[in-house]
Structure 1
Amino acid sequence: MSKAIITCAVTGGAHTPSMSRFLPVTPEEIAAESIAAAEAGASIIHLHARNPDDGRPSGDPEIFRRFVTAIKSSTSAVINISTGGGGPNMPIEERTAAGRALKPEMCSLNMGSLNLVLSEMAEREREWRHDWEVPFLKGTRGLIFRNTYDDIEWILKHVGQAGGTRFEFECYDVGHLYTLQYFLEKGLVEPPLFVQTVFGLRGAMGAHAEDLLHQKRTADRLFGTDYHWSVLAAGRHQMPVATMASLMGGNVRVGLEDSLYIGRGELAQSNADQVRKIRRILGELGIEIASPDEARRMLDLKGHDQVAF
C-alpha cells in the first residue's frame, strides 16, 4: 500500500454553533483547530469560513485570510479552501471568492447538484444560540445545492486554471464520477485526480459497504491509475467507513465538518481528537501516514510558497 493522506475538515458549513460548543467559529478558533489537526497528523486541512459574530457560513476572502495566513505560518499542511462553503443560496462568484483571491494549492469542487437535506438536525431538542440556525436547517428541504456543468467549468477555469489550484473532487453519487470523467476527457482537468467520495448524507450516497465498493469499482474503471481515492462519511459512519476504505488502499477525511462525535454519544472535543483516532486505527492496520510534502508530490500540487497569502 502507498501511504495514506489524512484530510481534516475543521468546521464546514452544515453544522451550526448550537450543535457543539467545540465547533470552531472565529478565525482564531479555526486557525488553532487547524494547526492542532496538522500536528496530530493531517496533511491536508479543508477549510470553510464563518461569520465570527454568529457562526453563519461565509465566503468572505478576508475572513479566510485571517486564518489561512496563521495556518501557513505555523504548519506545512496543504491548505484546501471550499468552493461551496458559503452554502446553496450563495451565487457561484461569491462562494468561490476566497479560492480566486487566495489561490491556494487546493480547493474542493462538488461534481454535481444535489439535495443536501439538513432539516433533521433542526428536530433535535437543544438550546439554539442564534436565530438563523433553525430556519437555515429547515430550509434545506426545499433547496437544490446547484453545481451544473456550467458552474463546474466556470470554477475549473476561474479558480483552477487562473490560480494554478488543483481540486479535491467531491463525488456524492455515481453520476458525479461520470461527470468528472467528462471533464477529464475534455481536457479541463488533468491527472492525478484527487477523488473524494462522500457517504452518509441525506440526499447523497448511503454508507453501506456495498455503496463504498461500488464507488471504488466505478472510479477504478473510469480513471484507472490516474487518481487517488479518498473517503469521507458523515456522522456515526465516519470512522467505520474510513477504516473500510483504508483497507482498500484509500485515503481518509475526518473532522468536525463531517461528524461532531468521537464515539457513540460523545462529542469530539477537537478536530485533532478525530485525526489522532483515525491515525491510531491506520497505524494498527500497518498503514503509514503521508506527510504534507508527500501528499504534495502524490497530488502534483504547486507548493506552499505559490499561494496568494
Structure 2
Amino acid sequence: MTTKTIISCAVTGSIHTPSMSDALPVTPEEIAQQSIDAHRAGAAILHLHARDPRTGRPSPDPAVFGRFLPKITAETDAIINITTGGSAEMSVEDRLAAARTHVPELASLNMGSMNFVFAGAADRVRSWRHDWEGPYVRGSTGRIFANTFDQIERTLRELGDGLGIRFEFECYDVGHLYTLAHFLDRGLVRPPLLVQTIFGVLGGIGADLDNFRHMAMIAERLFGADHQLSCFAAGRHQMAFATAAALAGGHVRVGLEDSLYLERGRLAKSNAEQVEKVVRILRELGRDIATPDEARALLGLRGREETR
C-alpha cells in the first residue's frame, strides 16, 4: 500500500461525442481550462486526447495538442500524459505523432488488441450535432482496436528508448497483464510500472469488483514491488471502482473520457467536479492525495524540466 494516492484525470478521450454532454471539452481552450481546473481540484496526472475544434471528432494532429499543452504547462505542474491510443480509426503513425512531437513525461500504451464497443451510447442520444457522431459510435461494433506485439514494441522503442517517455500501461483484461510481463522479461519495459487496470468496456473485462480483486492479485504476483496499481471503470461504475482501488492502496482515474456522469442520472458539469468527488471519497477513507512531484517520485518520472 502506497502512502499517497495518485489521481489521474482523463479529460476528453475519444469515445464520448459532443452530443452526449455539453460539459465534454472539445476546443483547445476548453481542454486547457478543464485540465487546469482538474489539476487544481487534485489531479496529479492529466491524460490527454485532442479533438477537431470545429466538429469535436477525435484528432491525432500534434498541432492541435500544441494549442492546449502550453497553457496547461504554464499554469500547472501537472504530469502530462499523452495518449497513444487515440481512436481505433487512427493509424499507428497517427497515434504516436503527438507524443513524438511534444515528448511528455508519460504516454498511455494499450497492452493488447481488442473489441472496444461503445455503440450502446447511441441509444441515449436524441439528436446528433454533427454528421460523424452517429456512424462513429454505432460503428464501434465493426472495428478492432489494434495493439499488436509489433506495435507495442515499436511504441516502447520509439517513445521509451528513443525519447525517454514512460508509460501508463492500460490493461483491459488479465491477458494484458501477462503481455506487460512479457515485455518486462525482455527488458523493453523498466520499473516502476504504472499499471492501469480498466473495467467495464464492452470487449474487455467486466465491471465486477471480483475482477478488480483478481487483476490486482495477478499484477502483484507478476510485478510485486515493481509496480504501482491504478484503476478505473467506465460509466456508472466509475466511483465504485475508484473506492475499491483506494481501499486496496492503489491509485485512481476519473474524468469525462471514462464517464460523463457524477452520479446516477446526473451529468457531471466538468472534469473538476469528478476530481472533487473522488478527493472527498479518498479523504473519507483516510488516504492522502499525491502532489505531482510525489507522483513523479513514485513513478520514476524524469521531471517536467526534462520535457519539451
Answer whether TM exceeds 0.5 for this pair. Answer: yes
1:221 and 2:230 correspond? no
Task: Quote the residue 1:104 is aligned against.
Answer: 104
Q: Give SS of 1:207's match.
A: coil
Hey, what's the Cα distance between the residues in 2 that align with 1:160 and 1:74? 26
1:187-266 equivalent positions in 2, closer than 5 A:
187-266=187-266
TM-score normalized by the length of structure 1: 0.98
1:46 and 1:281 map into 2 onto residues whose CA distance is 21
In the alignment, what sits opposite 2:95? Answer: 95
Counterparts of 1:121 and 1:95, CA distance in 2: 24
CA distances 1:110-168 after superposition (whole Å, capped 9, x unpaired): 00001000111112242210000010011111110000000000000111111110000
- 1:111 maps to amino acid: M
Amino acid at match of 1:192: P
What is the match of residue 136 of structure 1?
136
Are 2:8 and 2:44, in contact at CA under 8 Å, matched by a contact in 1?
yes
Structure 2 residue ranges without an equivalent (≥5): none
Q: CA shift at 1:42, angstroms? A: 0.3
Are 2:18 and 1:17 aligned? yes
Identity of aligned residues (%): 59
For 1:114, give the aligned amino acid: M
Partner-residue secondary structure (3-state), 1:123 = helix
1:242 Cα deviation from its structure 2 partner: 0.7
- More off after superposition, 36-45 vs 117-126: 117-126
Write the distance in 1 (CA, Å) between the matches of 2:71 and 2:161: 26
What is the rounded CA distance, in whole Å, between the counterparts of 1:125 and 1:148 in structure 2? 33
Report deviation, 1:243. Answer: 0.1
Pairing 1:158–2:172 present = no
Cα distance in structure 1, aligned partners of 2:90 and 2:298: 33
Which aligned runs of 4 or more in structure 1 are off by greater than 3 angstroms?
A: none
Q: Is 2:20–2:125's contact at 8 Å kept on the other side of the alignment?
A: no
- Deviations 1:32-58 (CA, angstroms, capped at 9, x unpaired): 000000000000000000000000001
Q: Deviations over 1:167-222 (max 9, x none)?
A: 00000000000000000000001000000000011111111111001100000000
Indicate conservation of the 8 Å contact 2:111/2:170, yes or no.
Answer: yes
User: What is the distance in 2 between the residues matched to 1:259 and 1:91?
Assistant: 25
Aligned to 1:3: 4
Structure 1, unaligned stretches of length 5 or more?
none
- Aligned residues between the structures: 307
Name 1:75's counterpart in structure 2. Answer: 76
Distance 1:125 1:69 in 2: 34
Determine the C-alpha separation between the residues in 1 that align with 2:277 and 2:186: 40
- The aligned amino acid for 1:183 is F
Structure 2: distance between partners of 1:260 and 1:168: 22
- Letter of the 1:122 counterpart: A
Question: Does 2:62 align with 1:61?
Answer: yes
Partner of 1:118: 118
